[in-house]
Amino acid sequence: MLLKEKISNHCLVCDEKITGRRDKKFCDDHCRASYHHQINEESNTLIRKMNNRLKKNRSILKKIDDSGEAICSSKQLSLSGFDFSIHTSIYINELGATFYYCYDIGYVSIGNDHYSLVKRNRNFKEKWEV
Ligand SMILES: [Zn+2]
């Protein structure tokens, strides 16, 4: 749990009374280090969890693509544990179709709860393969 910032003359970590400058937040270097370590750990955990979810999404899309299928249903994705709420990028083409990418593999709705898989062209950043 993130330690709450507070305005007082007590250490944010151990609540020890702080002497010295009024803007000091920690009683000593140990408490300062421990505070920043905790904050870094929380963001690292969040980033790691998000990366794992993104990698899982990509792996699900890649598995379908590797099997030779170009189209899949939302049910098929959901049953595999696909998380529709996260992606690495979005591309909207000139016809208004939205492509959701997990790194280099994406999907676009083709209606009727089905998606067409798409791959990003590795050689040309601005060009997209559909
Ligand atoms: Zn302290």
pLDDT of 19 reads: 85
69 inside domain: yes
The C-alpha atoms of residue 44 and residue 57 are separated, in whole angstroms, by 20
84 inside domain: yes
Does residue 124 surpass a pLDDT of 60? no
Range of 110's domain? 29-119
Burial (CB count <10 Å: 0-12, 13-18, 19+), residue 116: middle
35 inside domain: yes
How close is the Cα of 49 to the center of ligand 1, in Å? 30
- Under a CB-based contact definition with an 8 Å cutoff, are residues 119 and 65 in contact? yes
Side chain identity at 110, as an amino acid letter? I
pLDDT of 120 reads: 82
74 inside domain: yes
pLDDT of 23 reads: 87
pLDDT tens for 64-116 read 999 988 899 999 999 999 999 999 999 999 999 999 999 999 999 999 999 99
What are 1-10's contacts with CB under 8 Å, separation 24+?
Answer: 2/38, 2/39, 2/42, 3/35, 3/38
90 inside domain: yes
130 inside domain: no
Instruction: Look at 32 and 121; give whichever has higher pLDDT.
Output: 32
The C-alpha atoms of residue 9 and residue 21 are separated, in whole angstroms, by 9
Neighbours of 130 (CB within 10 A): 13
Predicted confidence band at 33 (pLDDT cuts at 50, 70, 90)? Answer: very high
62 inside domain: yes
How close is the Cα of 85 to the center of ligand 1, in Å? 40
Residues of the chain with pLDDT > 90: what percent?
Answer: 75
40 inside domain: yes
How close is the Cα of 40 to the center of ligand 1, in Å? 18
Domain count across the chain: 1
